[in-house]
């Protein structure tokens, strides 16, 4: 994306002529708005965006974007996006996926995209349920959740998205809440700017089949106390009156109250998203209510060589050394003989 | 070189090198066939190796073989029965003895016929006696001990010494066929350039084998195969897998596109991915994906992004790719899918050959999901049909499945190298940048193919996907629209028939019997039909390379024969497909599912039976 020129867009430029068909009240509407705002900010020519999705409610997303889009098959968007980006590193490639699409049927492609560090932006809409098939539990559903396929409660342990991303050697992980447009827009911009696989977990509400599942941490009256928004270089403070913070005690994170036992802001952990050692990022990504606030913002952002760059550089290196410049050279090279 | 007292000229000969999978038989066979090719023989080879990399030493399951069929005349198959069998251990006798011709020669390493090895191979005491090999010319050479003797002053460790014994066997066979050693000596020098003592040892042993064969009377007569009268040009040996990769790379260059392969290693198709990975100098992008599905999906992503997209696999992998092939059909993206068939079902016989994926290629997807299906018929024409597959995919905006098989993939033959300028033009259907708004499913009247716009083309932004849609690209659940789109996609594939050659008939254009085959059994069928013709039988051959759609003259060809015999290495899939497409004819069948090709006798006997049952 060397030619990031001053192309002026507004969010409206990214709206397609298709009628948006998600349920009224679905969190996806807000994500769509935030992504359109973010794209307008990036200054990348519109034709260079490609939105790739799999199957699920969120995967309808490309139809609503006036960009190149590919609504593919269940679970495979990471692999298709990998092909698009490797084929043309000049593109800005976005994968839109859900907890079922990315972590169940597409789990293998998801972890390998991250492992390769291909420069794609994965927005994972996590509503902890299968919506399009009308309400079955997903790999992120909390243990015990009663759904149509778990009428007596699930007996499965859920995945934590951040844990999986970091376990797959992920270099960028962020978390946001669907309805928080300002935070989401900022995070999508940062995900786009990060070179390498960026995974953004969006705590997204399914108004029909798992309504208010995130409310316990994201509802207006509790969110300040139950979430912490991490910003690189800033102390980890949260709470309605910014009265709480995080420190490291022994090998664990701990919530402390400022002013108690002589604790001041200077005692709090300062967020370093660029630290390559994933230890603290792992702990931050895994913080869960009620012991901890849930971390939002860019939790981890570590630059590294991207897959498509390495592939392209290797091709150039081989090309520059080889005497074979075209097919005829290859055909006639090596061990041949002439029949007169 | 030593003068041969008695030399017999032969039209053709089949030699099989056979030993433990660690004995270097593949290299021995390759060196022998390369020498034959340099001397102008036509030839066809086939390596036959176990699925295990190193099966238990001395076991029948661990026998690795390499067969060379060379001739003064045209050679179209690796041969079924061998004139000479080189057996490095008792298990090699056990595994191959049924494939030695009456009156043939067996050279074996008698030092390796220890009690233990004899027992491992399933013999009691004496394999030669137990197999009742009286009619054969048996040469019991003490290969291991002579190798040790030849190298005793070299100061090499025993392991390095014994590793050279394949060169001794090769030296013997070179003498037997009146061949010079210089090509192999040059090869040895190059291969071991950093280890001159090993190079030297190999050359000493090669000569020792040659002189040993010359010294013992038992080896007479010497066979001489004169050069074949093949057309002028520059030649090289090529395997089916390499030819497949090169055909696609040639198509990409011709079309002005970069090529992208997304694949997952699977026997016997892995060589294709390896070949692509080795040729980055031509801009080839190769992705070794995390699984078969990712193989095709990365390729499909690359196709969406404007590359010539390829994925290669074998039967089990094709099964895994089915859903993504359906997506390619629905989105009408060009992609070439290569299935190197092997014995199935399931894991089946991974290193053996079969033609049993035909129905999978034609029908193995959900919904009405037609694709173009081609099949290559010789190692070198894998180049031509891979090229054709790419041409059709790009010009008709459709997935194309190319069927090859284990025999073609690993077999080699001399190939007259084509010049790029002589290959057909390939014109991808790039969208016109001025045509805004771009309608992704707008078609031309002749081919019904859509146009190809990809990310990066300004103003042509559009969405495609697996859902049914209208011609404009809008998602649609309208019943009549679905039926209409199904018909259009089917008709698009049918119309490819307007852009492919007629089915050729080898032999008389009408007669008593038409032998019909498809893909890789061509060489065997051709050889059998030619022999039958020489014996006075009225038999012709039609071997299909274009399977869906069929060439337009099939009916015309079929109606000129009294009987039609469909020969294939499966239970009758092609015969059944013909019954669907051309119901007015009746089809006799010859089928075999042993992981092996037909033998000439099987084909000829069946033909003669049919001809005589008038």
Fold matches, B7-224 and B511-612:
no
Give A116 to chain B, closest Cα distance, Å.
10
Q: Give the CATH superfamily of B7-224.
A: Pyruvate-ferredoxin oxidoreductase, PFOR, domain III (3.40.920.10)
pLDDT at B4: 43
| Mean pLDDT calculated for residue range B134-142 | 89
- Taken as a whole, chain B contains a residue count of 614
- Could you tell me the pLDDT band of residue B220, with boundaries at 50, 70 and 90? low
Query: What is the domain partition of chain B in residue ranges?
Result: 7-224, 237-422, 511-612
pLDDT of residue A2: 47
Task: Give the pLDDT mean for B126-149.
Answer: 90
Q: Taking residues A196-210, what's their average pLDDT?
A: 97
At residue B3, does pLDDT exceed 70?
Answer: no
Average pLDDT over residues B262-285: 97
Choose the closest CB to B298 out of A83, A322, A339.
Answer: A83
Structure tokens at B160: 């390095």
Is B419 at the interface with chain A, CB within 8 A? yes
| pLDDT, mean of residues B470-485 | 93
Across the A:B interface, residue pairs with CB atoms under 8 Å apart total 202
A330–B40: do the CB atoms touch at under 8 Å? no
- What is the dihedral sign for C-alpha B577, B578, B582, B585? negative
**What is the chain B residue with the closest CA to A82?**
B298
Closest Cα to residue B91, out of B130, B61, B133? B61
- For residue A303, give the H/E element and its range: none
Asked if B568 and B575 count as a contact pair (C-beta separation under 8 A), the reply is: yes
Cβ neighbors of A136 (< 8 A, separation 6 or more) are: A129, A130, A147, A148, A149, A150
The whole-number pLDDT of residue B348 equals 95
- pLDDT tens per residue across span B506-518: 999 999 999 999 9
pLDDT at site A75: 98
* Ranges B100-114, B243-257, B573-587: which has the least confidence: B100-114
B464 touches chain A (CB under 8 A): yes
**What's the gap in Å between the CA of A96 and the closest CA on chain B?**
14
* Mutual angle of helices B165-176 and B196-215, in 10-degree steps: 40
Interface test mutation site (partner B, options A53, A79, A113, A329, max chain B beta carbons within 10 A):
A79
Collapsed DSSP state (helix, strand, coil) of residue A19: coil
Question: Which chain A residue shows the shortest CA-CA distance from B284?
Answer: A315
- Which of B38, B237, B262 is closest, CB to CB, to A83? B262
Average pLDDT over residues B444-461: 97
- How many percent of chain A have pLDDT more than 70? 98
CB contact under 8 A, A108 and B230: no
pLDDT band at A1 (very low <50, low <70, confident <90, very high): very low
Distance in angstroms between the alpha carbons of the first and the last residue of chain A: 53
Q: What does the pLDDT look like over B389-412, one tens digit per residue?
A: 999 999 999 999 999 999 999 999
Q: Which residues on chain A are in Cβ contact (under 8 Å) with B418?
A: 331
Q: What is the pTM of this model?
A: 0.94
Q: Prior bond to B437 cis, omega within 30?
A: yes
A97 against B99, higher pLDDT: A97
pLDDT digits (tens, 9 = 90+) for A246-305: 999 999 999 999 999 999 999 999 999 999 999 999 999 999 999 999 999 999 999 999
Considering only CB atoms, which chain B residues are within 8 Å of A334? 236
Question: If pLDDT is split at 50, 70 and 90, which confidence band does B503 have?
Answer: very high
Contact B282 A330 (CB under 8 A): yes
Q: What is the mean pLDDT of residues B436-461?
A: 96
Measured CA to CA, the distance from residue B469 to residue B467 in angstroms comes to 6
Residues 6+ apart with CB under 8 A from B114: none
- Cα–Cα distance, B88 to B63 (Å, whole number): 10
CA dist B344 and B352 (Å) reads 9
CB contact under 8 A, B456 and A90: yes
Q: Across the interface, do A68 and B462 touch by the CB < 8 Å criterion?
A: yes
How close are the terminal C-alpha atoms of chain B, in Å?
A: 57
Chosen from B234, B235, B242, B294 to mutate, greatest number of chain A CBs within 10 A: B294
Cβ-based burial of B257 (10 A; exposed 0-12, middle 13-18, buried ≥19): buried
Does residue B523 have a pLDDT over 70?
yes
E strands in B212-295: 222-224, 233-239, 259-263, 285-288
What pLDDT shows up at residue B38? 85
Identify the pLDDT of residue A78.
Answer: 98
Which residues lie below 8 Å from residue A112, measured CB to CB, with a gap of 6+?
A: A78, A168, B289, B290, B294
- The whole-chain average pLDDT of chain A stands at 96
- The verdict on a CB contact (< 8 Å) between B301 and A335 is no
Buried b or exposed e, range B102-141, using 16+ CB within 10 angstroms: eebbbbbbebbbeeebbebbebeeebbeebebeebeebeb
Min Cα separation B410/chain A (Å): 18
Q: Given this model, what pLDDT does residue B2 score?
A: 38
Predicted confidence band at B134 (pLDDT cuts at 50, 70, 90)? confident
CA–CA separation, A13 and B301 (whole Å): 25
CATH code, residues B511-612: 3.40.50.920
Q: What is the ipTM of this complex?
A: 0.96
Q: Tell me what pLDDT residue B420 has.
A: 98
Given a cut of 80, whether residue B170 has pLDDT beyond it is yes
Distance CA A83, CA B287 (A): 8
Q: CB-CB: which of B40, B235, B462 is closest to A336?
A: B235
Q: What is the per-residue pLDDT across B51-90, written as a single tens digit (0 to 9) for each? A: 776 678 888 888 989 999 999 888 999 988 999 999 999 9
Please enumerate in sequence order all residues whose Cβ is within 8 A of that of B439, keeping only pairs 6 or more positions apart, or say none.
B462, B471, B472, B473
Contacts of B460 in chain A (CB under 8 A): 47
Q: Which CA distances in Å does B230 have to B235, B240, B378, B381, B530?
A: 10, 20, 16, 16, 18
Read off the pLDDT of residues A56-114 as tens digits, 9 standing for 90 and up.
999 999 999 999 999 999 999 999 999 999 999 999 999 999 999 999 999 999 999 99
pLDDT of the residue at B1: 35
Q: What CATH number does the domain located at A11-213+305-309 have?
A: 3.40.50.970
Cβ–Cβ contact B34 with A under 8 A: yes
User: Quick check: B290 and A52 CB within 8 A?
Assistant: no
Is the Cβ pair B455, A319 closer than 8 Å? Answer: no
Provide mean pLDDT across the span B159-163.
Answer: 92
Mean pLDDT taken over chain B: 93
| Second-level CATH architecture of B237-422 | 3-Layer(aba) Sandwich (3.40)
């Amino acid at each position: 994306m060397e030619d990031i020129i001053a192309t002026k867009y507004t969010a409206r430029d990214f709206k397609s002529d298709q009628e948006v068909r998600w349920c009224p009240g679905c969190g996806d509407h807000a994500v769509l708005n935030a992504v359109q705002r973010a794209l307008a900010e990036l200054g990348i020519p519109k034709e260079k965006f490609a939105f790739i999705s799999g199957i699920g409610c969120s995967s309808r997303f490309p139809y609503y974007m006036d960009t190149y889009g590919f609504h593919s098959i269940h679970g495979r968007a990471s692999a298709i996006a990998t092909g698009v980006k490797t084929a043309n590193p000049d593109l800005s490639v976005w994968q839109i996926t859900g907890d079922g699409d990315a972590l169940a049927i597409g789990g293998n492609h998801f972890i390998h995209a991250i492992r390769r560090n291909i420069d794609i932006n994965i927005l994972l809409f996590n509503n902890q349920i299968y919506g399009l098939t009308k309400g079955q539990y997903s790999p992120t559903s909390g243990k015990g959740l009663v759904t149509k396929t778990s009428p007596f409660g699930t007996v499965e342990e859920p995945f934590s998205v951040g844990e999986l991303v970091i376990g797959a050697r992920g270099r960028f992980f962020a978390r946001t809440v669907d309805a928080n447009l300002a935070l989401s827009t900022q995070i999508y911009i940062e995900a786009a700017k990060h070179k390498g696989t960026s995974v953004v977990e969006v705590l997204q509400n399914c108004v029909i089949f798992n309504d208010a599942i995130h409310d316990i941490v994201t509802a207006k009256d509790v969110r300040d106390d139950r979430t912490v928004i991490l910003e690189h270089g800033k102390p980890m403070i949260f709470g309605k009156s910014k009265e709480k913070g995080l420190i490291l005690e022994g090998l664990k994170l701990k919530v402390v109250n400022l002013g108690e036992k002589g604790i001041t802001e200077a005692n709090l952990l300062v967020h370093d998203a660029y630290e390559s050692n994933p230890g603290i990022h792992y702990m931050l990504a895994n913080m869960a209510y009620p012991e901890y606030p849930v971390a939002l913002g860019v939790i981890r952002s570590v630059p590294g060589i991207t897959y498509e760059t390495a592939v392209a550089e290797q091709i150039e290196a081989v090309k520059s050394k080889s005497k074979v410049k075209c097919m005829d050279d290859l055909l006639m090279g090596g061990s041949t003989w002439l029949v007169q | 070189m030593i003068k041969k007292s008695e030399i017999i000229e032969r039209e053709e000969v089949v030699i099989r090198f056979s030993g433990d999978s660690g004995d270097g038989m593949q290299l021995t066979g390759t060196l022998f066939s390369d020498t034959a090719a340099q001397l102008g023989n036509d030839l066809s080879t086939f390596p036959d190796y176990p699925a295990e990399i190193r099966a238990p030493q001395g076991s029948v399951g661990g026998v690795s073989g390499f067969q060379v069929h060379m001739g003064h005349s045209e050679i179209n198959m690796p041969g079924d029965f061998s004139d000479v069998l080189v057996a490095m251990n008792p298990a090699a006798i056990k595994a191959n003895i049924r494939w030695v011709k009456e009156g043939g020669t067996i050279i074996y390493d008698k030092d390796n016929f220890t009690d233990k090895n004899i027992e491992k191979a399933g013999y009691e005491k004496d394999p030669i006696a137990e197999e009742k090999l009286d009619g054969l010319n048996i040469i019991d050479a003490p290969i291991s001990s002579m190798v040790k003797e030849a190298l005793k002053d070299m100061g090499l460790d025993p392991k390095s010494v014994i590793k050279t014994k394949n060169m001794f066997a090769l030296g013997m066979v070179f003498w037997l066929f009146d061949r010079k050693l210089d090509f192999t000596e040059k090869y040895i020098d190059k291969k071991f350039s950093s280890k001159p003592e090993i190079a030297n040892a190999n050359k000493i042993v090669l000569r020792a084998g040659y002189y040993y064969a010359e010294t013992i009377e038992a080896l007479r007569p010497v066979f001489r195969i004169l050069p074949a009268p093949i057309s002028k040009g520059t030649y090289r040996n090529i395997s089916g897998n390499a030819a497949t990769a090169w055909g696609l790379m040639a198509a990409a260059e011709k079309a002005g596109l970069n090529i992208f392969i997304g694949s997952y290693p699977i026997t016997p198709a892995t060589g294709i991915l390896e070949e692509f990975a080795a040729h980055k100098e031509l801009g080839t992008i190769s992705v070794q994906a995390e699984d078969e599905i990712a193989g095709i999906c990365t390729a499909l992503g690359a196709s969406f992004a404007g590359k010539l997209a390829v994925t290669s696999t074998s039967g089990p992998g094709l099964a895994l790719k089915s859903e993504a092939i359906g997506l390619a059909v629905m989105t009408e993206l060009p992609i070439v899918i290569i299935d190197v068939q092997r014995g199935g079902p399931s894991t089946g016989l991974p290193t053996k050959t079969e033609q049993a994926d035909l129905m999978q290629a034609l029908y193995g997807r959900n919904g009405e999901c037609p694709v173009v299906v081609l099949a290559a018929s010789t190692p070198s024409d894998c180049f031509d049909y891979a090229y054709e597959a790419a041409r059709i995919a790009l010009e008709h905006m459709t997935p194309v499945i190319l069927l090859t098989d284990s025999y073609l993939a690993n077999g080699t033959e001399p190939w007259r190298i084509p010049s790029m300028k002589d290959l057909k033009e390939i014109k991808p259907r790039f969208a016109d940048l001025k045509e805004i708004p771009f309608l992704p499913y707008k078609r031309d009247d002749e081919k019904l193919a859509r146009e190809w716009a990809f990310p990066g083309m300004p103003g042509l932004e559009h969405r495609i996907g697996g859902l049914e849609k209208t011609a404009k690209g809008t998602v649609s659940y309208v019943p009549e629209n679905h039926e209409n789109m199904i018909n259009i996609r089917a008709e698009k594939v049918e119309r490819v028939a307007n852009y492919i050659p007629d089915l050729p008939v080898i032999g008389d254009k009408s007669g008593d019997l038409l032998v019909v085959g498809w893909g890789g059994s061509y060489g065997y069928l051709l050889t059998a039909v030619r022999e039958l013709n020489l014996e006075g039988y009225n038999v012709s051959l039609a071997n299909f390379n274009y399977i869906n759609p069929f060439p337009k003259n099939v009916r015309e060809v079929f109606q000129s024969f009294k009987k039609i015999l469909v020969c294939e290495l499966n239970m009758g899939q092609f015969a059944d497909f013909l019954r669907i497409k051309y119901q007015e004819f009746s089809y006799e069948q010859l089928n075999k599912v042993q992981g092996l090709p037909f033998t000439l006798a099987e084909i000829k006997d069946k033909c003669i039976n049919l001809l005589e049952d008038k």
